[in-house]
Amino acid sequence: MNSKFLHSLFLAGLMLSSAHGNAATLPDEPKQIPGPYKPSWDSLASQYQCPAWFRDAKFGIWAHWSAQCVPEMGDWYAQNMYHEGSPDYLFHTARYGHPSEFGFKDIYPLWHAENWDPEKMMALYKRAGAKYFMALANHHDNFDSWNSKYQPWNSVAIGPKRDIVGDWEKAARAAGLKFAVSVHGSHTYNWMEACQGTDKKGSKAGVPYDGKLTKADGKGKWWEGLDPQDLYCQNHKPKLPWQSGKPFWTWDVKHGSTVPDAAYCQKFYNRVMDLITTYKPDMVYFDDSILPLYQVDPKVGLDIAANYYNSSVQWNNGTNEAVLTAKDLDDQQRHAIVFDMERGKSDKILPFPWQTDTCIGDWHYRRTLFERHEYKTPEMVVEMLVDIVSKNGNLMLNIPVRGDGSIDNDEVAFLGAMGDWFQVNGEGIYATRPWKVYGEGKIEKKAGNFNEKAFKSYGADEVRFTTKGNTLYAFVFATNLDNTVVIRTLGSNEKGIVGDITSIHLLGSDEKIEFARKPEGLVVTLPAKKPCDHAWCLKIEGLDLKASKPKIFHTGTEGKNVE
């Protein structure tokens, strides 16, 4: 839709809000923070350079933790509990009561975080190999996990009675990790429309859920003095039923979804800028297509981006050290902010640094019968990590946190296994850069969000490359049961490979490595005793990596030379 029309719609909403007497309570208009960045794609894209710390870090850990973890029913509980007949609805009505009497707002006082020890958690994350940590600042339920100036429904006033983001930030910086925050609150306007509904059958048929309650309704309740509409944002009528799916996510006005009003957009902007100016995060992750509220008014997200970058310039003696991530970016936008793929991977080396965000289980913590968690294994995550890094990306991995602030024994064991692997192989991951080909093996599936299930466990024919200066690192995988590895890219017949290999070292092993360049490839004999599980890293010296022009080798096929 034409952006001028959307901006006119935004201004019309502002005038309508003023006509209803809300103008006095609106946050301030966006103000440009002085600096070189202006709120336009041309300005952002022409100046932004992804900072070295992000390119070097490669691996981060995320605590996707909020009151939605209290029921321990997995992700999107705050919406799914209003879906009549759904597992979350059935659980909620059995445990807490009907959504007309006990809505999601009533979960917040149950979030005590009584076993949360951020310093202890950060030590586990650091030992597991993370170089940056990300805290969930707010989710689609719209609750701010910090001492928010613009959202009275926040973790200092309600529930834990703690500054969750602030305590995470202190622990991360004390541990020497970069600090990031994730922001998901742009979607609440539509995402919570389910709480306006009613049951269609049964004894509560037609009884409204709690989505339209007002401040006046709180007299004598635990939330007296609070306005549920500051949380739910449901002072509007949905144009589509909540079952409609995609439109609520993208504000697809053409297909009938409701458009957030001006007050909502202003409040969102100010909450994000409050978060940024208070905690000075090294990275801000937006769970948005392009930028927050972009389909409503592009100016909202562009103002945030420019002000965040200009703030970073001020914080860092004239250098922008900020990373801002979002999804579904075009080529120009990928010059301006870091491209993020949710639960997905790339099928090729991307020209700009990018990130995968994924989880070992559900985003929010899910209980399981007899503690039988269906988490990703360390082997799966190691293979993902190596593949992503070989293609110029980073991996941000969520470790679900229970409502009480603890993690389970399987998660502790997982983190320990990741740390063991990084202690051996970190040299081939941290501060590396991609080569001219990412590796060899089977043809990769098409890139995109939510495609990670299409990638199978790697076998003996898979190799992934990283580089550091003129050193080539070649990762081979533990599913290779033979101690002989053949790397076809480096065969003696490959005229595009410049230089002679002078040494090969297996990271984590002191044993001498036997190797020979043959027509079929570089043949390497691995020691019987392996230094780690899951994947092994060969450190290869002597080649001129810059001058070399390696071929793409896929299983059963050879590709063209790659410059």
Main-chain phi, psi angles of 74, to 5 degrees: 90, -165
CATH superfamily of 439-561: Golgi alpha-mannosidase II (2.60.40.1180)
96 and 209 in contact (C-beta within 8 Å)? no
CA gap 94, 411 in Å, rounded: 29
Half-sphere exposure of 187 (CA within 13 A, CB side): 24
Q: List the alpha helices (DSSP H) in 96-129.
A: 118-127
At how many degrees (to 10) do helices 409-425 and 118-127 cross?
A: 40
Segment 72-83 shows an average pLDDT of 95
Type and span of the H or E element at 311: helix 298-315
Taking the CA atoms of the chain, what radius of gyration do you get in angstroms? 25
Query: What's the pLDDT band for 465 if we cut at 50, 70, 90?
Result: very high
pLDDT range class, residue 443, cuts 50, 70, 90: low
Q: State residue 530 phi and psi, 5-degree precision.
A: -90, 145
CA–CA dist 153, 143 (Å, integer):
6
Burial (0-12, 13-18, 19+ Cβ within 10 Å), 249: middle
Q: Which two tokens stand for residue 241?
A: 């039923």
Which of 188-197, 398-407, 447-456, 476-485 has the lowest average pLDDT? 447-456
45 or 26: whose pLDDT is higher?
45
Q: What is the mean pLDDT of residues 515-521?
A: 96
Tokens at 272, concatenated: 């994000």
Q: Is there a contact between 536 and 530 (Cβ–Cβ < 8 Å)? A: yes
* Cβ pair 418, 385 in contact under 8 A: no
Q: How far apart are CA 309 and CA 452, in angstroms?
A: 31
Provide φ and ψ at 405, rounded to 5°: 95, 5
pLDDT tier for residue 497 given thresholds of 50, 70 and 90: very high
Lowest mean per-residue pLDDT among 10-19, 71-80, 124-133, 547-556: 10-19
Model pLDDT, residue 456 = 67
Tell me what pLDDT residue 21 has: 30
Higher local confidence (pLDDT), 67 or 245: 67
Hey, what are 40's tokens?
Answer: 């336009």
For the record, the structure tokens of 332 come out as: 């120009």
Find the mean pLDDT for residues 191-212.
96
Q: At the topology level of CATH, where does 33-185+281-342 sit?
A: TIM Barrel (3.20.20)
With both helix axes pointing from N to C terminus, report the angle between 262-279 and 164-174 in degrees, rounded to the nearest 10: 30
Tens digit of pLDDT for each residue in 376-390? Answer: 999 999 999 999 999
How does strand 59-63 pair with strand 393-398?
parallel
Q: What are phi and psi of 291, to 5 degrees?
A: -150, 165
Domain boundaries, the chain: 33-185+281-342, 439-561
**The two three-digit tokens of residue 537, written as one number:** 């890293």
For all residues of the chain together, what is the average pLDDT? 90
Site of tokens 């991609």:
434
Predicted confidence band of residue 244 (pLDDT cuts 50, 70, 90): very low
Q: Centre a 10 Å sphere on the Cβ of residue 255 and count the other Cβ atoms it contains.
A: 12
Between the alpha carbon of residue 81 and those of residues 195, 258, 397, 434, the distances in Å are 9, 21, 26, 45
Three-state DSSP class for residue 372:
coil
Which tokens go with 35? 């600096």
| Rounded distance between C-alpha atoms, residue 428 and residue 77, angstroms | 40
User: What burial class does residue 254 get, using C-beta atoms within 10 Å of its C-beta: 0-12 exposed, 13-18 middle, 19+ buried?
Assistant: exposed
